[in-house]
Amino acid sequence: MWLLLILSIVSCAFSNKSASRLLKEAEQSGPFDAIVVPGVPFQNGRWDTIMKGRVYWSKYLYDRGIARNIIYSGSAVYSPYYEAEIMAMYAEALGIPQEHVFTETRAEHSTENIYYGYKKALQLGFNKVALASDPFQSRLLRSYAFRRVSPDIRIIPMVTDTLKKIQPSMTDPDIAYDKAFKANFISITQRDSFWKRLVGTLRGNIDPSAYEDTVPVQHSMGN
């Protein structure tokens, strides 16, 4: 049983070879106006391995000139901190200029991350957009992104070998995470039933009118 579960999880992730191929394609077709990076819950006052990997992957794509701007997407879902704002703080602490860091704070599910992230990108005037995340989430969202969001979205899953090479130089900067605190927070597990959360995971509880209006450019709140 456990073997079948492990195999099913592995089969839902991009292999390192496939991720490397998609990265090469992104290098050839880029630069992208923006990449959308899905959020991760912030707990215990520090980022976990998944959040750290996604933020460092976005920094790698920015430093390489593959992405001109980064949109971190994520509301306060399982903990009372806006995931997008937390990730933006870490990104800026790592050296990404604040003027190239943006946040989207409506999304509560992975499908909503790419949907709202893409809509926010268009609202900001960014037309060439890619999803950048870990191999597992990138694979899960690929079909949804192409079918429900836009066939023009590109997928840039992190290449694990690349992250391993830069891992020795990775740091854990301090951030003012209290700035991302959401008052009167109620966890999604208390607000929504299991079935509603499942629907959100599969196709998102989407508001089609979100980010329809053009607004002045707004960056992250900074440290």
CA distance 222 to 70: 14
Q: Is residue 162 part of a domain?
A: yes
| 109 lies in some domain | yes
Does residue 8 lie in a domain region? no
Judge whether 60 lies within some domain.
yes
- CA Rg value for the chain: 17
Number of domains observed in the structure of the chain: 1
pLDDT band at residue 201, thresholds of 50, 70 and 90?
low
What domain range includes position 37? 16-203
User: Residue range 193-218: average pLDDT?
Assistant: 71
Give domain status of residue 5, yes or no. no
CA–CA gap between residue 45 and residue 7 (Å, rounded): 33
**pTM to 2 decimal places:** 0.88
Task: Label residue 217 by pLDDT band (50, 70, 90).
Answer: low
> Which of 78-92, 132-146, 201-215 reaches the highest mean pLDDT?
78-92
**Residue 213 falls inside a structural domain:** no
Residue type, 34: A
For the four alpha carbons of 145, 211, 124 and 76, in that order, the dihedral sign comes to negative
Dihedral of the alpha carbons of 52, 56, 57, 59, in degrees to the nearest 10: 150
Please give the DSSP secondary-structure letter assigned to residue 192.
S
pLDDT value at residue 7: 34
Residue 210 in domain: no
pLDDT digits (tens, 9 = 90+) for 43-89: 989 999 999 999 999 999 999 999 999 999 999 999 999 999 999 99
| DSSP H stretches of helix in the chain | 2-11, 16-29, 49-63, 83-93, 110-123, 135-144, 160-166, 188-191, 194-203
Judge whether 219 lies within some domain.
Answer: no
Q: What percent of the chain lies above the pLDDT cut of 70?
A: 87
Query: Could you tell me how far CA 187 lies from the centroid of its own chain?
Result: 20
Number of Cβ atoms within 10 Å of the Cβ of 189: 11
Q: Read off the CATH number of the domain in which 56 is found.
A: 3.40.50.620
**Residue closest to 106 by CA, chosen among 215, 198, 217, 208:** 208
Structure confidence at residue 209 as a pLDDT band (50, 70, 90): confident
